[in-house]
Amino acid sequence: MIAWPQHLIVLPILIPLIAGAGLLFIPDRQRSVKAMVSLAATIALGAVSLLLMAASGESRFGAVYLVGNWAAPFGIVLVLDRLSALMVVLTALLAVPVLSFALARWHSAGAHFHSLYQFLLMGLNGAFLTGDLFNLFVFFEVMLAASYGLILHGSGPLRVKAGMHYIAINLAAALLFLIGVSLIYGTTGTLNMADLAERLPTIEPDRRLLMEAGAAVLGVAFLVKAGMWPLCFWLPSAYSVAAAPVAAILTLMSKVGIYIIIRLTLLLFAEGPSAGFGSGVLLYGGLATLAFGTIGVLASQALGRIGAYSVLVSSGTLLAITGLHDEAATSGALLYLLSSTLTLGAFFMLVELVERGQDAGASVLAVTMELYGDADNEVPEEGQGTTMPATLAVLGICFASCAILLSGLPPLSGFVAKFVMLSALIGTGSVGSSPTGGALIFVTLVILGGLATLIALTRAGIRAFWSSIEGTVPRVLVMEIVPIMLLLTITATLTVKAGPALAYADAAVRSIVDPGIYIKAVQGVAPQKSRRDHTAAPGE
């Protein structure tokens, strides 16, 4: 156990829960008070998450928290290891800049924004820290309920239409989640992940088939959330029309499905009679998602849809890596998860600032002129030149940084993560010198996906910053551009500190590939004795 008070582990859930509930009692007209409370709670969440990450690295396994002081598998268990600590830190790193960006204008575009935002953070952190499937369902529902309100935040017909589709699809996914959990509990008699991993090898073959059917139904629910093709038809529309800060935080929600799939795949199906269960679906489903996202990025003209399809590219990459079961590549995938999530969060916020200075009709005309080549026939007069305003220059630098990160060009963290994954599969990983067909297809699609992203963003950047028709310089507040720059700075830090980041990712992978470590840590924690138990007489 960690040396700090054990109750520290539950704070990532309690802080947003208390803040969100308390903000409901503050009238909406006191927006500045609500904003300060919400921002203070989110910053406190960030500080706690960093402490938990430091604690998780002090031992081979982090810590286990018995919420009701009941031993597993009967009580509610929160589990802190390197992987869960990494996801909690990622949540905080994205949540603080996104909330700061929203304080400029979006937090006042509808009611109860801050409460919904805090409840979303509570659901995310709970899903990352929980140690049993039932409470995973509870936190999953809390997260989805908050996202329903946020996806509709700001109103508008397009947002309402996409939001209704989003709600319907995720309600169906929640139903599948409940069915899958019921089947697993009916066949194994437990929902605690550690206890489930221990019982699974001893289940009779006929019951194991029913358990695997439940796991498959449960997996479909997570794959809907992760956006695997063909279950991803709802995602581009929902993400592209959502309010900028909402779309930014939704990029993290798509990673919840990825996290749970990685966790359960390595914990339940790494060894024993069910070893490798679902790996083919993850591999080829991830490859299909990667290909679909690449085509969508290349075919899209609007920046918002390019960002939405980039989310699918990221999800497809991570799903395919999970299906390949290569430890070295999985370490690179964790770095890629960090880099792509932070970059996409910054990109969605940047899109609003860039499009703020563009006229919709002029954008359509620019695409038409590009298509028919009329723009090439205009020759500027000699000696004529323009000076780019400082605002556009800053936005252009941020846009170029996002393009480099998303396409995986050197020297930023996107390139480092892709290089680690590809080198592990081709040269130094477990695949060795004879890569499998799936690994070769993955390598090809990753390279083509980066090229397509570079082409799409270069085309969009030229149209937005260099050849815009009747465009105006957008009015950008400092509190809007600083969060974007902060996220890009974090990705730059990941580039400079790529060695320690990969070392932490390697340790995280090693701690989850061996189910015995997880099982021993969870089942080895005994309930704490009360003060009365310590003072009672032996014969009492």
408-459, pLDDT tens digit by residue?
888 888 899 998 888 888 865 444 445 677 788 888 899 999 999 999 999 9
pLDDT of residue 289: 93
In a domain, 536, yes or no: no
What total number of domains does the chain contain? 1
Which DSSP string corresponds to 522-533? HHTPPPPPPHHH
In a domain, 377, yes or no: no
Give the whole-angstrom CA distance, residue 407 versus residue 310.
10
Sign for the CA dihedral angle at 524, 527, 528, 532 comes to negative
* H or E stretch covering 120: helix 113-129
pTM, rounded to two decimals: 0.87
Q: Which two tokens mark 350?
A: 């940047």
Count other Cβ atoms within 10 Å, centred on residue 220. 19
pLDDT of residue 198: 83
pLDDT of residue 463: 82
Residue type, 200: L
265-316, pLDDT tens digit by residue?
888 887 777 777 778 888 999 999 999 999 999 998 888 899 999 999 999 9
In a domain, 113, yes or no: yes
Please report, for residues 2, 360, 364, 419, the alpha-carbon distance to residue 511 in angstroms, rounded to integers and kept in the order given: 17, 51, 52, 23
Q: List residues bridging with 80 in a β-sheet.
A: 63
In a domain, 311, yes or no: yes
In a domain, 380, yes or no: no
* H or E stretch covering 336: helix 327-355
Q: List residues bridging with 329 in a β-sheet.
A: none
In a domain, 10, yes or no: yes
Each of the 540 residues of the chain gets a pLDDT tens digit; together they read 444 557 788 999 999 999 999 988 988 788 889 889 999 999 999 999 998 888 877 666 678 888 877 777 777 888 888 888 999 999 999 999 999 999 888 877 777 888 999 999 999 999 999 888 889 999 988 999 999 888 888 777 888 888 888 888 888 988 999 999 999 888 888 888 888 888 888 888 888 888 888 888 988 989 988 889 888 888 888 888 888 899 999 999 888 989 998 888 888 887 777 777 778 888 999 999 999 999 999 998 888 899 999 999 999 999 999 888 888 888 889 999 999 999 999 999 999 888 876 655 445 444 444 444 554 444 444 444 445 577 788 888 899 999 999 998 888 888 999 988 888 888 654 444 456 777 888 888 999 999 999 999 999 888 877 765 455 666 777 888 899 999 999 999 999 988 898 988 888 888 887 777 888 878 777 777 665 555 544 544
Please list, in sequence order, all residues whose beta carbon lies within 8 angstroms of the beta carbon of residue 229, skipping any fewer than 6 positions away. 285, 288, 289, 291, 292, 312, 316
In a domain, 379, yes or no: no
User: Is the CB of residue 245 less than 8 Å from the CB of residue 344?
Assistant: no
Instruction: Give the three-state DSSP class for 80.
Output: strand
| Dihedral pair phi/psi, residue 387, rounded to 5° | -110, 125
Instruction: Give the three-state DSSP class for 65.
Output: strand
Q: Which two tokens mark 346?
A: 């910054």
Instruction: Give the three-state DSSP class for 130.
Output: strand
| H-assigned helices in 227-326 | 235-241, 244-268, 279-299, 303-324
| Dihedral pair phi/psi, residue 218, rounded to 5° | -60, -40
In a domain, 412, yes or no: yes
User: Is the CB of residue 93 less than 8 Å from the CB of residue 490?
Assistant: yes
